[in-house]
A and B are shown apart, each in its own frame.
Chain A
Amino acid sequence: MAAPAGPRPGWSRRAQYSLFFGFLAAVIGLLVGIFMLVLSLVAPQTYSAVRGAALDVASPITGPLAEVGATAKGLVSGAGNYWDAANQNAKLKKERAELRRTAVRAAGVFQENKQLKAALGLREQSSAAIATGRIVGSSFESPRRFAIISVGRGDGVQVGMPVRTADGLVGRIIDAGHIASRVLLVSDRANTVPARILRTGAPVIATGRGDGTVDIRPLEVGRNPFRRGDIIVTSGTGGLYPPLVPIARVIRLDDDGARGMPLADPTQSSFAIVEKPFEPAALAAATEAEER
């Protein structure tokens, strides 16, 4: 087959001109595109309104579809639970007994902690939930790791707020529409979370890798402080994320750091809680940084 002929203008002057102006328009389109791209790289806040609007337009479609998907998934996993139910039941009972003992111990520690804090005169920071939404979508076509949740500015959500589930940290808001917002996940390469190891308290930095895991590096040079199975929690440094929110579990050790699996798996947990930034000043700083 010969190559497609393409738009041949022939002898018509009108057709020739329209083809030429079409070419000019395409070149202009290219230049406009490059300009917009540069603008969105150096000043991402420029497009916040239009991006928010796009999220709002998409969310009435995404939301119901997500419900259907969750129902189907629930049916499958619900049926799976009946398999080997007796053994599972025995195991769960044992686990529950153990957890109850741990919970009693934790309650004691909590009480003691409260008294000690009161003695020191530390102000208790309450982490107030702003809104709770469903995780309805993600950026499955791109190297970036975003998720879309079904709450927006109408619910009080603002850019820069931390998002978590009951299991751990999900990420922070980067685009907020009126009824939906986009979350920068912990596993995104651009998301750096100041953290520490729960076991030792050693300060570390958790950075996403873009493939669903996080890279964890110690702040202090020395021997590798990680062990497999270590829980990494936020340290609260920087004031954006509240302290002691679980981030990841160490699954593999590297030369000088470790690889972690996020504990709040957005694919499993369908509800996410948007919280106030730990220190309100951090929100202003985050917005400023975005604008720069």
Chain B
Amino acid sequence: MSTTAPKAPATPSAPSLTPLFVRLKLSLLRNGLLQSGGRKAAYITSAVLALLFAALQLLGLLALRGDAHAATVAVLVTGVLALAWAVMPLFFPSGDETLDATRLVMLPLRPRSLIVALLAASLVGIGPLFTLCLVLGSALAVAHSAASAAVAVLAVPLTILVCVALARTVATANTRLLTSRKGRDLAVLSGLVIAIGFQFVNFGVQKLGDSGGLSALDPAGDVVRWLPPAAAIGAVDAASEGAYGRAALQLLLTAVALVALLYAWQRSLVRLMTSPDGSTLRPADTARKQADRPGLSGLLPEGRTGTVMLRTLRYAWRDPKTKAAWITSLAIGLIVPVVNALQGNGTVYFASFGAFMLGAQMYNQFGQDTSAFWMVVQTISTPRDAYLELRARAYAIALVTAPYTVLVAVVTASLVGNWAALPQALGLSLGLLGAMLATGAVASANFAYSIPQDSRKNVAPGQGGIASLAIVGGMLTSGLLSAPLIALTIWLHVSDRHGALWLVLPVGAVYGLLVAYAGLRAAAPRTARRLPEILTAVSRG
């Protein structure tokens, strides 16, 4: 800054702002290359892979030209792309630093010129380039005439602008959320949403292969081609078919959507930059609502058992790490048997997978407490206390898992169409659940490790060995502990005593209870003896 200001307070004019923001974005991109070795390599690799993938998609879409389903695919690709742009800022709020408009709040900027500048900056980057490849490919796949080419010239930039504006609008509207504790909680859960979403996509693709082709997608395509920005690609297709009225309507629809988005964005930008930070405002007294009603928790037993169960269940709901683990287990435990059954290679015995996944929640119980475990340490004086503590945690898991196991078994049996095997499958599941609770309790007492709270990692650095030892060892032991039940089932089958197979259900339930009891009994004195050591192990990170 020079001290001799020639003009009084310079108000930046719109034309100078846009190149400034574009240069800012370019600097941010370039700075990605200035990181340390490993991160630089990761940065370059991901950029190259993204572009390679985009190029392949472009080629694929071009190859589709002339295919009967080209329009459906092109429209759906654009739709999925727009969806990705909409959710990206929610899951990766730190992905684009220019998304957080509150960083600019101290600068004298007019909303309108700011929006133009930010929109221009958004068009710079790997994401927009990736989008350009796909949208261009989609347009080329459906453009068959001069008229449709002319529509495409409008449609492609319009689509990209809608995508970018969508991301900006969503990010601006949610800035307060994303920079708050709730937003950080959401970010922890995001990996999970992607993982489960991937399972569904995987399943969908397989299903598509089974049902003999892309025609299955046509109904979806017929709807999506009217939703902006995919409507723009729909317009190109309509122009190819000579339906110029439809083309104009679809193009108009996309343009209207762009204007609406820009308007909404501007409104939330103004609100964001002129209103005080939400963290300094006390929310209106929401306390009254939930005051002093026991609710369902009143049904839990008094004393340590009910108290610990309630805390465990509350954490499964409120703590993002614990919640992510629970939801993953619940989802995978159902998806695996169901998908296998739908693909025709499933058996009802896969139902025990649900019990297995949820039983695994018993592992590293104290690590899930983080260093707050000291509060538990202060109240455990005897092996009896430790037993009650572990048993209550096992109860909380069983409270969810037992009905869930029945559900998974019933669903799987109905899909496989083998109701006769339901009791055996249930018996085996309950036996396995008992074994998992038992080994989980013993592993919690002997192999505790920290779960870092502020990263996506689930094991603190340096404790990977003990964590895998606990999990792999525990699972093998659970398998061994379930062996008698499996042997019983096989023996009943082999010796042709099919009439007695229902016995596996009561035997499995009782066996599971006994094994779980024995495991808790074994783990309790170890826990009571090792309290300070466990606290040290779970207090890292």
Asked whether A and B interact, the reply is: no
Binding site for B on A (CB under 8 A): none
**B interface vs A, CB < 8 Å?**
none
